[in-house]
Amino acid sequence: MSILKFLGLKSEESVADGPETQAVRKIAGELDRLEPEKARYLAAFAYILSRVAHADLKVSEDEVRTMERILVKIGMLSPEQAVMVVQIAKTQTLMFGATEDYLVTREFDRIATREQKLALLECLFAVSASDESISTVEDRSIRQVASELRLDHADFIRIRSTFRDHLAVLKSEKS
């Protein structure tokens, strides 16, 4: 299954063949060549990143760029593929957020190893910290994801502590 089919964005309908459409089709073709398991993993990974980035009801450019860098590094995607995957994930999160959040995270829990879940948790904090502040709502969203992934509270605290300087709740105490 392609990443586009998994995200529900692959359609049989034809669209005008403008330059932008051809570029998107080329990238989509590249993603279709990924192993189905890798495509499913990356789709869920990107969706969860976007879920947490959107927890405060806005996704900053810094958060978008961080998600793209993460997908290039961890997902071994080309920068163009990473841009497309992040944009698809953002759109899906906006359209289906509340209904799909748990389902996608449960799917990730099923297909990911413990190490991959911990890596995702660290990436969630990195995305949230990309604008120099992890809001309380982002922190709670990350905690919710950790719980849905059946990670221990100690794992959550250990990774969270590496981002301590970015936690908004602690910044307000210092002021």
Domain count within the chain: 1
Identify whether 5 is part of a domain. no
Average pLDDT for the chain = 84
Identify whether 55 is part of a domain. yes
Identify whether 6 is part of a domain. no
Identify whether 15 is part of a domain. no
Q: Quick one: pLDDT at residue 94? A: 84
Identify whether 119 is part of a domain. yes
Coil/strand/helix, residue 119:
helix
**Distance (Å, whole) CA 26 – CA 108:** 27
pLDDT digits (tens, 9 = 90+) for 118-133: 999 999 999 999 988 8
Q: Quick one: pLDDT at residue 23? A: 53
Q: Quick one: pLDDT at residue 26? A: 60
Q: Quick one: pLDDT at residue 25? A: 60
pLDDT digits (tens, 9 = 90+) for 14-38: 444 454 456 556 656 667 778 888 8
Coil/strand/helix, residue 124:
helix
Given a cut of 70, the residues of the chain with pLDDT beneath it are 1-30, 169-175
Identify whether 2 is part of a domain. no
CATH at 32: 1.10.3680.10
Token pair belonging to 36: 């189905």
Q: Which domain holds residue 159?
A: 20-174
End-to-end Cα spacing for the chain: 51
> What is this structure's pTM?
0.81
Given a contact cutoff of 8 angstroms between Cβ atoms, the answer to whether 46 and 89 are in contact is yes
